[in-house]
Amino acid sequence: MSQVNYEKWDHLFIRGEYENRERILAGLTLEEVNTLPSEKLHTIFGELWHITKWQNIVVNNDQKAYEEWISGGSRYPVKNADSFSEWEDLRNEFLTGLKSVMALTGSTEKLAEVVVDGFTVEDNLYSLAVHNAYHLGKIVALRQMIFAWPPPETKEK
């Protein structure tokens, strides 16, 4: 089994180019994650819900969930988080999903595996990295709009 460049994937999904993903989501209150600064935007909870559900589809190669998503399934939650623990659960699901992403990067053979329509695991992970970056950027912008940026320092840098 060939080894891959772990630092490259860590850079794409965990620490590189912009703020550490864990820190982007740190230190928020229930009120902040449910705040809607404009009717044209989503909440922080909504953005994270969206990227977590998509990340799960990609990581698990869940074709059934993909088909539902593409055919008009709910791409954003229909309601806000009801409790702080609901927010924390979603945050933890997203961060755990990043660990699953990193596990997929463990070998060149796994990355080269064709999953659907000629797309490889590696292709899907690059696409996921772009998708996550886009929505995490929106979360940072939302935090800035509601004066919840910068987040507190975390142990991870």
- Which CATH architecture best describes the domain 6-145? Up-down Bundle (1.20)
Q: Cα–Cα distance between 68 and 138 in angstroms, integer?
A: 24
2 versus 74: the higher-pLDDT residue is 74
pLDDT at 153: 73
Residues in the chain: 157
pLDDT at 157: 43
Distances (CA, A) of 114 to 39, 64, 109, 119: 40, 17, 10, 6
User: Based on the number of CB atoms within 10 Å of its own CB, is 3 exposed (0-12), middle (13-18) or buried (19 or more)?
Assistant: exposed
How much is the CA Rg of the chain, to the nearest whole Å? Answer: 16
Q: Cα–Cα distance between 38 and 137 in angstroms, integer?
A: 17
pLDDT at 107: 86
Q: What confidence tens digit (pLDDT) does each residue in 57-90 have?
A: 999 999 899 999 889 878 999 999 999 999 999 9
Strand segments, DSSP code E, in 19-133 are 114-116, 119-120
Per-residue pLDDT, averaged over 11-26, amounts to: 92
pTM of the complete model? 0.91
Q: Is the pLDDT of residue 156 over 50?
A: no
Q: Is the pLDDT of residue 134 over 80?
A: yes
Q: Where exactly are the structural domains of the chain?
A: 6-145
